Amino acid sequence: MTDISIRIIGHAGRITLQRPQALNAMTYEMCLAIEAALDTWRDDDTVAVVVLDAEGDRAFCSGGDIAELYATGTKGDYAYGQKFWADEYRLNHKIFHYPKPVISFLQGFTMGGGVGIGCHGSHRVVGDSSQIAMPECGIGLVPDVGGSLMLALAPGQLGEYLGTTAARMNASDAIFAGFADHYVDEAHWPALIATLEATGDTGCISKAATSPAPGPLQAAMPDIDRHFHGVSLGDVLTTLKGEDSDFARDTLKRMSRNSPLAMACTIEALNRLRGPSLTLEKALDLEYRFTARAMEHGDFLEGIRAAIIDKDRNPKWQYADGSVPPMAVSKMLMPLGKMALDFGGTGMKIGFIGLGNMGAPMAANLAKAGHEVTGFDVAGTTAEGVTSATSAAEAAADQDIVITMLPNGDILRAVANDVIPAMKAGATLIDCSTVDVESARAVAAQAEVTGLGCVDAPVSGGIGGAAGGTLTFMAGGTQAAFDAAKPLFDIMGQKAVHCGDAGAGQAAKICNNMILGATMIATCEAFALADKLGLARDKMFDVVSTSSGYSWTMNAYCPAPGVGPTSPADNDYQPGFAAELMLKDLGLSQQAAEAVDADTPMGQRALELYQQFVENEGGKGKDFSAMLPRFFARGRG
Ligand code: NAD
């Protein structure tokens, strides 16, 4: 192949990109050739280091060759792109974990796919011509090839800024942002490469390196942090639009060129990635969730059309005004199940006890992500991809992680008595059921004395969230136990908050559900009043969902059939979230309030109303939003 030269010189495995006429853009074949060379050199004792460079002064590598992706994608063939990205990301992963030093020389443009091969090695050398960027949002993609790892690790909110604006970094900026390590005068690069070839020793790199003059990014950090600390694209755009400054104007101009859906997903992905459990694997997995869907559901094909096919630079983005619904972001970043990126051999052994409405889809998502899951449920239920055990103890034996998803605290305590003695040393017990704080703390104490980690991690998001892998986990326990559990939360959900010590997750859950119970009642009684005042339900929804009365119960889970997004109301109030489970949670909140002497009159009244509904008004077995027909049928007396 003439696009790339692969050879061994002295002690160095040498890879030179040689497509300077195309700014060394990486084709699929080049990607596969680099991977094959790395595989061969791994066990070749003559190769002490790998040196990557490129011909021409204008670019190390300006990105992946996207023309072929467009040609296949516009014909409805999404599999080609999915395979290209999966293979490319595996190469990025291989470079990152390569057991020998990988030294890259990054002159001119290093962008997108170029970052994937040039910025994951052990020694990344930059010079005066270097310009590094993650410009993917401009073609409707999120920063990928593992670039989101560097963005998530960059100082402050710099990652959001670089990812959404595609701003270019000079040598100094790239070192500051964590995309490069050493600045070396480009005139010295040939001699440095010759020394690496001759000696196979990387010591010469730091000796040749000097400090570059500071770049503009460091000085811009106060502005970047101030404007990019919001949790969504909308937040960022609002603060930028609210300021009359050169920085705000310039940043808005850069962002106006990019896909709003891609920018919103970039910000969400960085929020999810940051934290102690960040790994390259996690970054690539999340990136691939987006890219695998980018042709069919994202702006990618339109982005390429405008940039390189028609070259009109006038893409018609899906959300042109920048207001991207959170649901659209969630859909692009949902787990991919069987299609998820596979790095080989990373699966954990998991026991899952309680395969009911919630547990079964959660366990299935873990199995789909490549983990070895063994399940048990007294009712004999099973889950897709999960091996069945004959008892809770059998499901728990010899597992790295045991997860419980059970109806209440008494059952949890009984199951814990069976499984804790069966678990292997150092394993972690994660209870995702909603139970009383006391039971959560008792089980944690019991686990910890036997040397097990334990996390109480109740969830929010219902059966839809369990099936879609978009649950929110609120977790209590030690940092070490939370860190062990976090990779699994990332598969089963979209957010996990470490709320504090044992029991803190349950405390957060019952407070949340006390609000939920009270707002559902408030929403239902308001609809019933509106009905009686002759106000059409869809008009009521239109007003309230965008006015100060809005809430999750109105906007996302509307109790009125045929109004708002699909909800259990549209399915004859089949749960969903059963009224008796809401009654249980309200009971837990009042039990906790009693124990700590907290005044919770709304929670208490919600408890009474759900009790009446479940016990005397036929609410048992119905969704908790079935309060609406109940209110509608009643008068004031
Ligand atoms: P579910 O009743 O459908 O599932 C519970 C499962 O546990 C059942 O299949 C049951 O057979 C099994 N089980 C009971 N005792 C057992 C034992 N000793 N050993 C093994 N299995 C046993 O309930 P669900 O809706 O899946 O909810 C589970 C938990 O999640 C509850 O604590 C609930 O409050 C909470 N939760 C539910 C929702 C929701 O929308 N359904 C939302 C958030 C939280």
For 231-248, how does the pLDDT look when each residue is reduced to its tens digit (9 = 90+)?
A: 899 999 999 999 999 999
Q: In terms of pLDDT, which residue wins out, 545 or 636?
A: 545
Determine the pLDDT at residue 470. Answer: 85
Task: Label residue 91 by pLDDT band (50, 70, 90).
Answer: very high
The mean pLDDT value for 458-476 works out to 90
* Identity of the residue numbered 168: R
d(C-alpha 430, C-alpha 490), whole Å: 14
d(C-alpha 172, C-alpha 181), whole Å: 9
| Secondary structure in 3-state letters for 197-263 | HHHCCCHHHHHHCECCCCCHHHHHHHHHHHHHCCCCHHHHHHHHHCCCCHHHHHHHHHHHCCCHHHH
In this structure, what token pair is assigned to residue 474?
A: 């609120």
The mean pLDDT value for 379-383 works out to 96
* Identity of the residue numbered 466: A
Q: Which residues are catalytic?
A: 509
Task: State if residue 467 touches ligand 1 by the CB under 6 angstroms criterion.
Answer: no
Rounded to the nearest angstrom, the distance between the alpha carbon of 575 and the centre of ligand 1 is: 13
Determine the pLDDT at residue 369. Answer: 76
Q: pTM of the predicted model, to two decimals?
A: 0.60
Task: Label residue 1 by pLDDT band (50, 70, 90).
Answer: low
Rounded to the nearest angstrom, the distance between the alpha carbon of 586 and the centre of ligand 1 is: 16
Span 425-452, pLDDT tens digits = 889 999 999 999 999 999 999 999 999 9
Task: State if residue 378 touches ligand 1 by the CB under 6 angstroms criterion.
Answer: yes
Domains of the chain: 4-333 (3.90.226.10), 346-502 (3.40.50.720), 509-636 (1.10.1040.10)
* Identity of the residue numbered 571: N
- Does 345 score more than 60 pLDDT? no
Rounded to the nearest angstrom, the distance between the alpha carbon of 474 and the centre of ligand 1 is: 17
Residue 9 near residue 44 (C-beta atoms within 8 A): no
Averaged pLDDT score across all residues of the chain:
94
Nearest-CA residue for atom 25 of ligand 1: 357
Determine the pLDDT at residue 480. Answer: 87
Determine the pLDDT at residue 336. Answer: 87
Determine the pLDDT at residue 338. Answer: 75
Selection from 436, 462, 434, 469 nearest residue 552 by Cα: 462
Span 68-78, pLDDT tens digits = 899 999 999 99
Task: Label residue 341 by pLDDT band (50, 70, 90).
Answer: confident
| Secondary structure in 3-state letters for 430-461 | EECCCCCHHHHHHHHHHHHHCCCEEEECCEEC
Identify the weakest region by mean pLDDT among 32-36, 411-415, 515-519.
32-36
Rounded to the nearest angstrom, the distance between the alpha carbon of 403 and the centre of ligand 1 is: 12
Instruction: Give the single-character DSSP code of 140.
Output: T
Determine the pLDDT at residue 637. Answer: 66
Determine the pLDDT at residue 123. Answer: 96
Residue 477 near residue 503 (C-beta atoms within 8 A): no
d(C-alpha 561, C-alpha 233), whole Å: 32
Task: State if residue 434 touches ligand 1 by the CB under 6 angstroms criterion.
Answer: yes
Determine the pLDDT at residue 343. Answer: 74
- Does 346 score more than 70 pLDDT? no
CA contacts within 13 A on the Cβ side of 443: 35
Nearest-CA residue for atom 17 of ligand 1: 378
Rounded to the nearest angstrom, the distance between the alpha carbon of 375 and the centre of ligand 1 is: 13
d(C-alpha 503, C-alpha 442), whole Å: 9
- Does 370 score more than 80 pLDDT? no
Task: State if residue 353 touches ligand 1 by the CB under 6 angstroms criterion.
Answer: yes
Nearest-CA residue for atom 7 of ligand 1: 354
Closest atom, ligand 1, to C-alpha of 434: 32
Q: In terms of pLDDT, which residue wins out, 321 or 626?
A: 626
Span 134-162, pLDDT tens digits = 999 999 999 999 999 999 999 999 999 99
Determine the pLDDT at residue 495. Answer: 85
Task: State if residue 234 touches ligand 1 by the CB under 6 angstroms criterion.
Answer: no
The fraction of the chain above a pLDDT of 70, given in percent, is 99
SS3 call for 124: strand
The mean pLDDT value for 105-124 works out to 97
The mean pLDDT value for 119-125 works out to 96
Determine the pLDDT at residue 444. Answer: 97
Place of tokens 């170029």: 114
Rounded to the nearest angstrom, the distance between the alpha carbon of 441 and the centre of ligand 1 is: 19
The fraction of the chain above a pLDDT of 90, given in percent, is 85
Task: State if residue 381 touches ligand 1 by the CB under 6 angstroms criterion.
Answer: yes
Instruction: From 357, 412, 432, 510, give the residue whose CB has the most ligand 1 atoms within 8 Å, as the site to mutate.
Output: 357
Selection from 553, 593, 598, 599 nearest residue 576 by Cα: 553
Instruction: From 377, 391, 435, 585, give the residue whose CB has the most ligand 1 atoms within 8 Å, as the site to mutate.
Output: 377
d(C-alpha 121, C-alpha 106), whole Å: 12
d(C-alpha 133, C-alpha 165), whole Å: 9
